[in-house]
Amino acid sequence: MAEWAPRKNSLVALTPVREARIELEEDSRLHRLAESFLLKVEGLEEDRIRFGGHLPQTLPARPRRTLHADDFSVISHLQNILGMEYYSSRAILRARQGDLVAAAFEEIPGYLNYFSGMLGLGRYDYCQVQTPPGVPGRAVFTALLSDRAALKKIQALAEQEGEFWIHPYMGHQHPWQLAKTVAERSKQAVRVLAPLPAVTRWANDKVRFAEAVEAVLGSQAVLEGRHGRSAQEIARHLVQLARLSNLLSLKLADSASGMGTGIFSSREILEKAPQELEATVENWMKAMEWDESQPSISVERWESETVGSPSIQLWIPPPGDGLPLMEGIFDQLFDPGDKSVFVGSIPSRLPVAVKRRLSDAGVRLGRLFQLLGYLGRCSFDTILKGREVESARILFTECNGRWGGTSTPMSMMNRLFGDYRRQPYVCRDFDHPRLEGVSFDEFAGTLADILFDRRSGSGWLVLFNAGCLQPVGKIDAITLGKTYEEAEQRQEEFGRIVEERF
């Protein structure tokens, strides 16, 4: 089985992993499953008619001028994430020389020079867009569609290039509408590197994902659970499951980073009278701002006896470009105060046999996604249930049908080192009240002695998500080391240095 090398100068820095193999009989079964699931993807036929001309059939072999924008507006209940309005700066990490990055805040002073100079990743063009009144800053594509100056700029680029690409954080309705608008105005081809909106909604719905996992991998690969759309129905499910598990969870089907998750003890549930439990559920639903337009709420057993929370990182190309690429298995890092809140990741050090099981399952599931029309970055979160890692049962918990907090730094490490596996690293978000009001220029200058410089190879700290720094005192940090242990220790050292210098 030969090494697969990504095409030079393509749009994404992929990991040079071995090409996946799926037995012919299994692939035939996945094709049959896809035919049945296609009937369940609501709105797909309408999307194909409306946006199908912008869906790429293959990826270009050489660079194409691309717009990058991270728009989080369709993900539920993210307002509690510190600095969420500024997370759009993560799109910078995908940008290459001459690409356009759009966000709804002023350009980060000093970050372009850091990105192109110390990191050597090219000079992007920045476009600040104005959001309409009442629209949050994270709705970048809504802003692009209403900002005449931004639209004119993108139209000019499309006319200049002859073929223009849009690479969004996720493929919801608005990036596709922008592609359609720009194509109509410029009379040029505009491609979107993402799944159609209907497929995006399906992939990011935890209830639909569980159905797909069960169909591909069997019932033993999914958490035991139910789903509901009313407080009464959900309360009934909670009582049923409370007799089987000590802890239960409620999850918004389309949220992320653990923000739409509530944990309840079985004792608490069983001690409440029916009306009291329904009131508790209703209050939680109100706090989560759930309404009838959103997918059903998941009711699941919360597995406390686990030995890991690995994440499977995939790149899913157009079918003509090959099978899904399994780029890696990562261990997720969680907030010590809330085990449901994601804060970072590290390439997994699980036994090879366990990673092989995860990879095989992930590729088969990714193949179903590909046959349904999914395109681009995708990851599957899992837990390992049991007491021993080697014999633990793999349970799939959710799909991230989008770029995320693990894939974004992984791709950046591929750009910096050719293959993230060559350089041990850990990525975590970091916030400190003393950093609020500190500009990136000042922050980088104060930490110049430890910043990684690609030109010389010196230093061990890489910074991104810098849009959050000055407004709220938060930034994402990749620490490098000769070993993963050293990279982990340097996360702690980074925190101590910030304490000492700011």
pLDDT in tens, 331-373: 999 888 776 678 999 999 999 999 999 999 999 999 999 999 9
Tell me, what's the pLDDT at 249?
Answer: 85
215 domain-assigned? no
Tell me, what's the pLDDT at 112?
Answer: 97
342 and 436 part of one domain? no
69 and 188 part of one domain? yes
Query: Is residue 190 within 8 Å of residue 158, measured between CB atoms?
Result: yes
202 domain-assigned? no
Q: By CB neighbour count within 10 A (0-12 exposed, 13-18 middle, 19+ buried), where does 274 fall? A: exposed
Please tell me the distance from the alpha carbon of residue 195 to that of residue 400, in angstroms, as a whole number: 13
Tell me, what's the pLDDT at 256?
Answer: 64
Query: Could you tell me the CATH number of the domain that includes residue 385?
Result: 3.30.470
152 domain-assigned? yes
The answer on pLDDT for 146 being more than 70 is yes
Number of helical (H) and strand (E) elements in the chain, helices listed first: 16, 17
CA distances from 444 to 64, 113, 126 (A): 31, 11, 20
Last residue of a domain, one of 269, 301, 333: 301
Phi then psi for residue 172, to 5 deg, are -75, -175
Phi then psi for residue 444, to 5 deg, are -65, -40
The total domain count for the chain is 4
> β-strands 338-347, 461-464: how paired?
unpaired
pLDDT in tens, 435-468: 999 999 999 999 999 999 999 999 999 999 999 9
Tell me, what's the pLDDT at 134?
Answer: 86
Q: By CB neighbour count within 10 A (0-12 exposed, 13-18 middle, 19+ buried), where does 89 fall? A: buried
175 and 33 part of one domain? no
269 and 394 part of one domain? no
Q: By CB neighbour count within 10 A (0-12 exposed, 13-18 middle, 19+ buried), where does 234 fall? A: buried
Q: What is the DSSP string of 468-497?
A: GHHHHSEEEEEEE-SSHHHHHHHHHHHHHH
Q: Hey, which of 60-64, 190-194, 301-305 has the most confident mean pLDDT? A: 190-194
80 and 170 part of one domain? yes
201 domain-assigned? no
Sheet holding 225-228, edge to edge: 225-228, 297-301, 247-251, 261-265
How far the first Cα of the chain sits from its last, in Å, is 52
pLDDT in tens, 37-94: 999 899 999 999 999 999 999 999 888 999 999 999 887 666 667 788 899 999 999 9
26 and 64 part of one domain? no
Confidence category of residue 7, pLDDT binned at 50, 70, 90: very low
357 and 231 part of one domain? no
360 and 446 part of one domain? no
376 and 436 part of one domain? no
383 and 455 part of one domain? no
353 and 282 part of one domain? no
Last residue of a domain, one of 301, 333, 361: 301
Tell me, what's the pLDDT at 6?
Answer: 45
53 and 185 part of one domain? yes
Q: Which domain holds residue 113?
A: 41-196
